[in-house]
Amino acid sequence: MGRGGGGGPAMLLVAVVLVAGVAVCSGQLKVGFYSKSCPTAESTVASVVRQFADADSTILPALVRLQFHDCFVKGCDASVLIKGGGGGSSKAEVENNKHQGLRGMDVVESAKQQLESECPGVVSCADIVVLASRDALAFTGGPSFDVPTGRRDGKTSNIRDADVLPDVKDSIEVLRSKFAANGLDDKDLVLLSSAHTVGTTACFFLQDRLYNFPLAGGGKGADPAIPEGFLSELQSRCAPGDFNTRLPLDRGSEGDFDTSILRNIRNGFAVIASDAALYNATATVGVVDAYSSMLSTFFGPYFREDFADAMVKMGSIGVLTGAAGEVRKVCSKFN
């Protein structure tokens, strides 16, 4: 999910409905945490996301990617928003190459500024990241769901902390391990990767798969798992050395939030290697097959509901609550 570039991972709400099955609390987080301390918190974030999306719809999948990149590094604590020094002599987390092309920080900062005028010192940047991602999903046609809030902002941000992020070149074994380290299982891996149903990726993330893939007989070339016609299609759009051209992550259905991304993965038309890897292990193949089946719409498993569950679960990774951390006045710097 986090590996599709700025619009990928690289992804309307005046009232948000709770999708059946989504947990309403997690630890000390709870739905409606700001209902008394800042009643406008969620509607303000949604309004700001809408304003930015009206100007540039590609910001929506970018906001989902932003949450992924925040939560996978020491938990959902807004550490990825820190600019400049991350404390002491270290560089901030966001300077890690794993965060390349990350966008949406300006959306979070804009919402924060508005909330500081409405409810000074109340709403954390970490919660704004999660709320903005939730709203962005709904604006793309994804599920609407409640998310528990009450996160506090972290007080550290180190460039090396982001080394743990999943990478587009990771094997399925490495991907499963990185997700498991954050309390996420194989089902969550497939579901969260499915956020690539909306958004684009930069050719930068395809170069190795198209031209520098290690071949069994030695040497390097194109990934032999890519169907011949699809390989020609990808190479025609991403020439050697082209890092900036963007193309849809979900071939043929980039504008719709649906299970097309999983059918593409199943049929060999995954654009990036980490998506293709989901069909390289029995544990994840079964999940891909289950959600990409046409029968699942009627008999389950239910993709939209389960995707919402996975987003809530990811949003609960390593959260700071109570007196831990702080509530930043400006999201890009510690108080």
Query: What's the CATH code of the domain at 235?
Result: 1.10.420.10
Question: SS3 for the chain, per residue?
Answer: CCCCCCCCCCCCCCCCCCCCCCCCEECCEECCCCCCCCCCHHHHHHHHHHHHHHHCCCHHHHHHHHHHHHHCCCCCCCHHHCCCECCCCCECHHHCHHHCCCCCHHHHHHHHHHHHHHCCCCCCHHHHHHHHHHHHHHHCCCCCCCCCECCEECCCCCHHHHHHCCCCCCCHHHHHHHHHCCCCCHHHHHHHHHHHHCCEEEHHHCHHHHHCEECCCCCEECCCCCCHHHHHHHHHHCCCCCCCCEEECCCCCCCCCCCHHHHHHHCCCCCCHHHHHHHCCHHHHHHHHHHHCCCHHHHCCCHHHHHHHHHHHHCCCCCECCCCCECCCCCCCCC
- Annotation-wise, does 77 bind a ligand? yes
Query: So what's the pLDDT on residue 78?
Result: 98
Query: So what's the pLDDT on residue 14?
Result: 28
Query: So what's the pLDDT on residue 3?
Result: 44
Is residue 17 included in any domain, yes or no? no
Distances, alpha carbon 28 to alpha carbons 42, 122, 149, 188, in Å: 18, 16, 9, 22
100 and 214 belong to one structural domain: no
CA atoms within 13 Å, Cβ hemisphere of 167: 13
* Number of domains composing the chain: 2
Residue bearing tokens 């609550």: 321
Is residue 325 included in any domain, yes or no? no
261 and 139 belong to one structural domain: no
151 and 196 belong to one structural domain: no
Is residue 60 included in any domain, yes or no? yes
Dihedral sign of CA atoms 67, 269, 189, 145 in order? positive
- Annotation-wise, does 54 bind a ligand? no
Residue 322: Cβ-neighbour burial (10 angstroms; 0-12, 13-18, 19+): exposed
For 10, the token pair is: 């690289």
Catalogue the active-site residues.
69
Is residue 301 included in any domain, yes or no? yes
- Annotation-wise, does 37 bind a ligand? no
Is residue 4 included in any domain, yes or no? no
Look up the domain containing 57 and give its range.
25-165
147 and 190 belong to one structural domain: no
Last residue of a domain, one of 137, 165, 193: 165
- Annotation-wise, does 284 bind a ligand? no
Query: What's the CATH code of the domain at 103?
Result: 1.10.520.10
Series of mean pLDDT values for 10-residue runs along the chain (335 residues): 44 31 56 98 98 96 97 97 73 93 96 98 98 97 97 96 95 96 97 96 95 91 95 97 95 90 96 96 94 83 96 98 97 96
Please tell me the pTM assigned to this model.
0.90
Is residue 217 included in any domain, yes or no? yes
Last residue of a domain, one of 165, 192, 219: 165
- Annotation-wise, does 39 bind a ligand? no
177 and 143 belong to one structural domain: no
Query: So what's the pLDDT on residue 196?
Result: 96
Distances, alpha carbon 126 to alpha carbons 148, 267, 322, in Å: 12, 37, 14
